[in-house]
Chains A and B, each alone.
Chain A
Amino acid sequence: MTWLVWRQYRATAAISSVLLAALAAVILVDGFHIASRWHSILAVCAGSSGCLQQQPGLVNGVVSDLPYICLIVPVVLGMLWGAPLVASELEARTADFAWTQSVTRTRWVAVKAGWLLLAAVACGGAVSALATWWSGPINAQSATAFTPGQFDAQGIVPIGYAVFAMALGVTVGTVARRTLPAIAVVLGGFIALRLVIANLLRPHYLAAVTTYFNVAGTFTPSGQPWVLGQGAVSRTGQTVAAGWGDLEPALPAACQRLLLGAPTAKNGASMNAVFSCMQSHGWRGFVTYQPASRYWPFQGIETGIYVLLAAALIAVTFVVVRRRDA
């Protein structure tokens, strides 16, 4: 079986390797460039706190989108490799050939899907390793490794996405029996699920931490946290998000007058008066966040979710391939 899989996919594998190598070359060249600039910034800033953040950003132009290019690799694998795995054999009738050799359909699909899932792990891992390395200085400068977008392109989650996208492609192709509709479903389904999980589920993997502080002061969680919300909260639980746009109607009348005396919110002296007024009425500042120490637990949970979904999809594929007519 393995020989058949190799014969079927050797051209695909060669083309994909070349594309992956090209992507790697771009990332490596740009990554070394970023790293050298980062080292010179470190030399300039040696010892002085807050200096790093005041230096110019490390990325510019097209290459700033590199993590996003890496984000599309898994779904492309699922569309171009996963979807045709069974569907194209049914369309071209080659399933009639494959399924009347002395190999059960279970073994046929296990070996084919197994190798492609392994390839997905390898591609997802390679792309993630490059993106993680490339993002290192940027993470260090702006402390963003845990934030949406960055989190999705680094660490082990891209492997989970790649495995899931491949499994989704294989399963949809098997059920739909046609490659093109399957490709469309994989694209839509993968993007929809990624958005739902990243936006609705991920913030709640572990209960977020909320820290309260003097409303006139500031608080920054240590390391590279994922800040979910921040602002001020009254004694009765009324909140105002940072940015203060809707601050006025929420304030006690006494403080509102002070705020009106500060026509531009940037007037530091007047704002301090507003803050101390708020504090005297029981307002506190708050930051709700996932601490930096949860970066790897979150990577593990998210990867686990996608791998489990992939396993469920592959189980469906086995049942359908065994039962349905060729």
Chain B
Amino acid sequence: MATQGRTLPIGPTDNTSEQRTPRARLHLIPTAARASFVPFVPVRGSLRQGETDLTRVTPDRPRAQGTAIEVSGTVRTASGTPVRGGLLEIWNANTFGRYTHIEDCAPDVPIDPNFLGMGRVETDEKGQYCFWTISPGAYLARPDIGRWRPKHIHLSLAGGASRLITQMYFPNEPNNVTDPMAILMGEDFHRNIGVVYQTPERDVDHGYRFDIIVGGRNATFFE
């Protein structure tokens, strides 16, 4: 059992990390207050039709530019229990490395009129999920020092006491090794890289398996 809380690391060459990472050591939570720190997120259906296929803005519209991929896997807690009915929120840049988010003002990087880049999917009874998207482009995150963000897909998972925000990275990408968050993960980084598989007879180029394990004491608090 830990006797003192962590000091959070700061992502190298990440200015926002310098600005926003608490400097003081985190305080431990006394046992008597522990339960109050475990949010239990209510399940509320709010999915829209076609949201699991990010390769089209709506099912009747054309395919976006770039390589269509499938991403699938299971979501479990560290003890192996499937996270059922969990809400997975997904967002990624288009094939050129541009988000449709209103605050992404990247100059000279085009918007694809057939790509929104945001979707949602629920995990099933076995904790499984599957969605389609466009393989995202890398983008220049720090023009001043020439640092790129590697290709990645953002994933946010909420289900019961399980809460995780993470990113899936791609194998053999040259920018992986210079990414501040990947550097902080160190040898654990490989667990955040999708594993390629083939997708015969499905209307995507190939797939990535990305199994998600939600760790920490919160995730298993009510098991």
A binds B: no
